Structure formats: structure tokens, C-alpha cells
Chains A and B, each alone.
Chain A
């Protein structure tokens, strides 16, 4: 179809298309003389805008491309190589070079864990043209929208806008070819009162840039920052806590790994009943109102439906109705051993659902408690029994159904497997922004869709900051 002169120009992605990656992968697989071969190609571009002290100070962008290639002759030891040059001459040279070494390797009795050709990949739609466009245009306006209202409110602003576009492809000489593309975006604002006492944080993250509302994020940060002025001391202890999404999301990130079947069946983790000496299938794990699931097509998140081994990632309910343990993630080898289908990865992207109570309603129904907007610096405690971190970006005393005053931040020690058993109320679920989260290797972290919760006896152990 021809384009009208009045149509907007086409959006050009800052990365190679999945089709192009497939063509590159095909080219390499046709060049190799190895009996088995594997190619993984990843191309990721980030566009970043940052502001600090009320000044937009950095506009950064770039892309990284990696081509990983493996070839193997019969039962000989396989060879692995990664390159970042994709012209035909380089690829030809690369394949010939790896083949020449692989051909000379001695025999290896151990079977190479080659990806098997799957019957089905769930189609996923996690690429949005709006986000691709935001890479080159939208983020620039957004950073101004984030910062300007905060400055005009007489507060000090720090802000971040990030747009990621990624394409990925995995292929084997045995006929497997799977590729996909994803986009992700995040905006965050930190407001600080001019006297340096009390800050407010707000953020949103979305695959689809159209759903990100920088103005609203900015207004939320302003509201929280003003509320956070002149924070007071309140003795730590076990108290009712209203944990907003930005707090919950940091607290539950580690839960996904607990669903790995192999360590659970060997007796490790919270999903193994040590007394009964069996996996807790059929048992209620957390509050009965909660469920936990993951889906490559989650409308608020989702992920590519294959992993780096090209194993399909399928929709899975982990905690079903009544918060009962329904499934564990069996990797292909362990699944075969146990006679289980389908295999899956332990989720690093998931959804927790359960209620409709808004945060305002939680506050209104709270006689005395602490509202926590966000937590940061979350780490495991020395004996591994839980996690510790500090409240940040808005922590308030709630008294008789109202925000009473701003509080100094706390250190807490908790476990999601424990506090999600002390739930008083659950709110509506939405994707939560993580902001600065160096516990995850790179930005952006996989989408987590969580509700705010009100829990009793949350374990605030100490003040987070010293005088």
C-alpha cells in the first residue's frame, strides 16, 4: 500500500527487526558445516533522559548487538563464540573459524543440551509503535513534563525517562527458529523539599508508551513530597502497614525464583514442607485472596515467549484460587525426569492479584498504621530467612483513617512469604515501576504487576537513617 504524503513518517526502530535477525541467523546456520549449531542474536537500544536538581542534564542513547554462535561436530566438544560485527564477510569468517576449531575437538561423552524443537510458542505482542516513537521523540517532551511542575511547586526535582527497544532471535540447525521484539518504558520523579527534609517518589512503567502519564507521575511526586515535609520520629516495631505498589513490587521480586521445581523437590525454599517432607502442592501458601500467575501476553506486562535456550515459556498459574500452590517451573531436563509437561522457567515477571480496596480506602479503614510509598535497598538477611530494606520516597503515620504526619524512614526485616499471610486488605493490581534497582542486572527489570496491600504486624526494626 502506498503512503500518502499526509501520513506521519513511519516509525523507524533503533534496532534490527526480528526478520533481519532471522536472516542473519539463517546465513550463519547455512555457512556452518557442524552437525549441530545454535545462534542467538540480541540487539538492544536504550534512550535515556535524566534530570537532577531541577535541571535536565543528560540525553543518552545507543545500542548493543551480540551474535552468539555454537557449533558441534558429532559428539565432539562444542565451541562457542560471540561477535558484534554482522557484515557478511565477518559472519563468514566467524563461522569458518569456529568450525575449524570445533572440528578438531576431541569427543565429549556428555550430550550437549541442545534446544529441542518445540511444538508451540505462545504468540506475544509486547512491541508498541508508540514506544518505538518515544525512543526518538516522546521521551524528550516527557522529561520536561516530569520536571517542570515540580520546579514550579518550589521543590527540587530529579527525574528519569527510559525507553528500551529490543529484538531477539534464537535458531538451531535442527530447524528451530524463533524471534521477537519488545519495548519497555519507565518514568520516575523524585521530589525533595528545599530544606532537604522529606522526599516523595512516583513512577510508572509500561510496555506501551501511550499508557504512561508523566504529568500524573509528576503530580503524585509533588503531593508526596509536600506531605513528607518535616518528618517526625515514631518508634519502630511491628505495626500495621499500608504498602503501596512501589513498595510491594520491591518486596516480592525474589518470590519468582522459589517456584523452580528442582531445588524445591530437593527440599529447599518456602514451597517445601519440611515437616511433611513434601512439596506444598495443594496447600495455601499466602493469604487466600491472592493469586499469582505469569503470562507472555499479560496485557500490562508480558515477555518474549522463549528463553535463551529457546525453550517455550507458557502461561502458568503458580498460586491458584485460595492461594493454593498449583504449579512449579520444571526445566526441560527435570520435567523429563519427572514426567511433567509443560516445562517453564521460574518467573521473573509475574502478576499478583486479589482485591479491589484502594489505597485511600485502606487509609480510611486504618485506625493506626504506617503508609509506605516505596522501599529500596532490599537485600536478604544474613541467615537467608527473609529480606531487609528501607522505606523511601514517602512514609507516613496513618491515624483514625487519615494521614497524620510524615515519618522518618525505617529499616524493616520481613519475608513476602510471611507478610502476605497477614493481609488485611488487597488493592487493584497494576504494573509497578521499580526505579533504581541495582539488584537487577540491567535496566529495565521484567514487568511485575502487583496490588497495594494492607498488612498487620509489619516488622519495622529500626530507623533507616541516623541523626
Chain B
């Protein structure tokens, strides 16, 4: 058996690297073969020299100045250098990449023009800025011809200057790639030896670094250096059982977080992964059976499943861009409209058990000091004891709630959740890291299920909603429960009405020990882009969840 000490020795991360000629090319992707020679390199050594942040800042200023000179009433720019390091399990090779891109946004009479590009020169970015402004002016004129009133003013934002850096102890781009391999290898070998030669199934380790500069015509100029990573893009570890009965549980501590390689060198990592594998083994012992019935049943969702349900329904329903109809031909609408009526409703919209907050703090992988509109990231309460009290807003959509904010004595401002997936992406409202407050009374997963005469526990599930977000389907590991005891694993699909589930069907929430995170990757826009969000939630006991039969039969 591999001991913790052996593992630590094997995974120790050495500082320093061998030198390698650097290059001046600005964007590149290098797939390194998994040979010993290549693995001695550090990612930084094989990547081209990144442009200095001062150059990016100068380019950003050039863009803003060019847009203003061309007549934009407002302009902002995001320019960044993105690096990625992906180290899979051997014998696959390493992939390292570096991309430079930018996007300039200009506003004329409330209409946006946007131009993106990848050539980071003063001339190119100035042309992009002028083009964005001309595009906005053109459509502003078209709106005037259509007699459409001009768009509302943007919510004010304090001009900000400064620099922020993700706290990092070990920069994965500055250690030999071989050391990253060792971490994965040690984990793999340790668990395989202990666990009857059934190794974990691993996506490898991925890390992302980015220097992003934001500048706006309001006078903001900020530079942020992000670093995030973990065990695979979505994180987690899984154990294959056999091809017909594949059990996977995601290990929440391995989900992508902000930070350096120190996230993967914690002393209890092997024990932690082993505890997950023991859990898989226990779950395997529950027999599988078909469940042909349909109907409504009580269901206990584990924290991960409830987090996915919140993130893919409620979290999106609170998006003011959806509420404003800006996504009507793309990701969809929301039932939480009109926002002013919802926040001022006499009765709580949801169960008083429900309190939801949003933030972009460490160690969330979305941690930042300022968002992609230069607004300081603040923690915000969105749902308080079942009452909707705020939405995810941008500077464009925050004025929708101006009357409400005035009554509350709060300034009209977004709370800093606007995101551009890439510097060259159009900024949209994200949802930050959502957190559902757990119950203060003690209730773990099995305690929540103890009074169920016939129902289900859903573990590791994911939820998906239709475009209006009123109805969600949930799929996960479904465990049939009779008289509070697990009796079978059943392949079913669950469906629930969002409003009913969060209003009257939510019976109880688990305590803090049941909190689990998940990642949601909904798309927005036309053309669409993924907008990653993270959600942490406790387990939840809900009644009247539909079991849907898909019952397909070949009839020919």
C-alpha cells in the first residue's frame, strides 16, 4: 500500500527549470510529446514571451481614445493574454497554449458596436475601435429611423485603476511539467494499488492563466492576473466499474478553483480520493433495476444536484438580460418578470427556506477584483428568505431596478458579475459564484430521506431547463428509497416545475455538512458562448418531483 509519505515524496514539486529559448510570437499552441526531454521543460519555457502588461495597457488606452475620437459616447476594451497547460495521464502528451485577443465595445445613442481581433498592434486596435463606433452609429441611425427610443443610460460606475493577482504559491507554468505528471501519476498509482487495481479515471490536471486589461472611457484602467485550475476542467475523479454499469462521483475539492499548483499538493489528497472511491464501492453494492412507473415522488437531492438545479434554473432566471428580453431569440427568457414587480411582491416568490447569494471571492475560480465592465465585484444577496431582492445585472440592465434600488437607498449599480468568456467576447451578465445557504439545524443526506416511504435520492445529478426556465429535467445517480432505506439504483429522468419546486415543494434543506459545489456551463448570445458559473448548495428534500418515462420502442 502506498503511504501518504510515499505519495508526497513522489509528488513533491521542485522549483526551477531548465532554460529554453523564448520567442516573440504572440499567440501559440504547443502540444508537447510526453517524452522525458519534453517533460523536463516548464510550460513558461516553451511558451513565447507574453506581451508586457504595460503594452496591453497602452493598447487599451489607444482603443478607448480612438473610439471616443470617432464619436462613441462610451467605449470599453478588454485585451488579454490567455495561457493554458493541460497535463493528461501518461502516455498522452502535454498541451500548452498562449492566445492574445481583444474586443472593443462602443456605444452611440444606446446602441452597441463591437469589434474583435487578434493582432495586438496600435494600428489594428485603433481601427477596431473606430469600426465598432461606426457600427454603433449606423444602428443608432437605424433605430432612429424605426422611431425606437434611444437605449437607457448605463448605470454609473466609479472609475477604477489598479492591479489584482490571484494569490498563488506554486505557479504551475514555472515548474517542470514532469512534476505535474508525478502528481497525477502518484495519485493514480496510489489509488490503483489500494483499490484492487481499479484506478481512478482521470482527466488529468489543467491550469489556466490570464493577464487581462480593461479600460473604459469612464477613466478605468485595471490589470488582473488570473490563475485557476484543478484536476480536469470540471474537476473530480471517477472510478470505472464496468462498461454497462459505470459509476462516477465527482470529488468536489478537485473542482477547478483559483490558485496555483498548491491546490494539488495538499497532504491529504490521496486519502481524500480514496474516500471517494470507497463511496463508489458502497454505491456499487446497491442493485440496479428498471423503474417503468411514472408519477410524483418525494426526492432528496444531494448538494451537487441541488446546486445544478439552482444554477440552471433559478440562477439563470435572475439574469436581468433575460428579464429585459435581450436573450429572447437565444438562451431564452425568465418567469421572474417584470423585475420591479418581483422584487416588490407582497408575498415571497419562493420558500422562506431559500437564501441565495452571489460573489466572486477566493477560492472560487471566478474570483476577481473587478468584472469585465470595470465594476468592483461585490457580494450580493439575490434571494433572502424566499424573497427576490436583486438580479444579475450589467451596467446596461441595472437601471431596470432603479426604482427598487432608490427605495432601498442603494445606488443603481451592478454587483460586478459581467463576464467576457474571452477578451474577444462580447461582455454579458454571468451569475458569479452562487451560494445557497444551508439549514442551521442538523440534517445530513440520509436524515433528510429517513421519512420517505417511497421516493428517491439523486446524487451527482445535473439539471437542464427549457428556455423559459419554468421546467427542469434532472439526471443523475437515482437511488430508489423505501422506508428510508436505499433499495435500488434506477435509470430514470426526473422533471420538476421550477416555481413549484422552489416555492411549495421544497420541504427541507440539509445542513452545512451537505454543501457541495458544481459547475454550470450555460450558453448565451447569438452566436452563443459558454458562460461558466459555480454554485454551492446543501442537500434538499423536495416533494412531488415527476418521474418521466421515455419508453421508446422500435415499432418497425
Contact = CB atoms under 8 A, between A and B. Distances in A.
A263 interface: no
A97 B23 contact: yes
Interface in A249-302: none
Interface stretch (B106-114, B204-212, B300-308, B404-412): B106-114
Given A53-B326, A382-B491, A84 B100 contact: yes
Given A93-B25, A144-B142, A58 B112 contact: yes
B116 A62 contact: yes
Contacts of A436: 329-331, 526, 528
A53 B324 contact: yes
Contacts of B295: none
B426 A58 contact: yes
B136 interface: yes
B424 A418 contact: no
A85 B26 contact: yes
A54 interface: yes
Contacts of B21: 97, 100
A417 B136 CA distance: 47
Interface stretch (A31-39, A75-83, A357-365, A396-404): A75-83
Nearest to A421: B556
B475 interface: yes
B385 to A, nearest CB: 23
A1 interface: no
A466 B325 contact: no
A248 B228 CA distance: 41
Interface residues of B, number: 85
A377 B467 contact: yes
A438 interface: yes
A385 B550 contact: yes
B498 A466 contact: yes
B498 A418 contact: no
Interface string B106-143: 00000111111111000000001001000110110011
A158 B117 contact: no
Interface string A51-95: 011111111111111001000000001111111110000100110
A200 to B, nearest CB: 11
A55 B467 contact: no
A185 interface: no
Given A147-B146, A436-B331, A438-B523, A83 B555 contact: no
A274 to B, nearest CB: 11
B36 to A, nearest CB: 8
B466 A464 contact: yes
A177 interface: no
Interface in A406-427: 409, 411, 413-415, 417-418, 421-422
A192 B328 CA distance: 9
Given A61-B131, A105-B37, A465-B470, A94 B548 contact: no
B492 A61 contact: no
A57 B143 CA distance: 9
A380 B148 CA distance: 42
Interface in B22-48: 23-33, 35-38, 46
B146 A414 contact: no
Contacts of B470: 465-467
B115 A62 contact: yes
A160 interface: yes
Given A46-B527, A64-B118, A94-B23, 19 more contacts: A52-B329, A59-B114, A59-B136, A63-B117, A68-B29, A77-B33, A80-B29, A84-B26, A85-B119, A90-B25, A93-B23, A93-B24, A162-B527, A189-B329, A388-B473, A411-B548, A413-B548, A421-B556, A466-B497
17 contacts: A50-B329, A55-B143, A57-B112, A61-B114, A61-B131, A79-B31, A81-B28, A93-B24, A94-B25, A108-B33, A140-B138, A144-B146, A413-B550, A418-B552, A438-B528, A461-B549, A464-B466
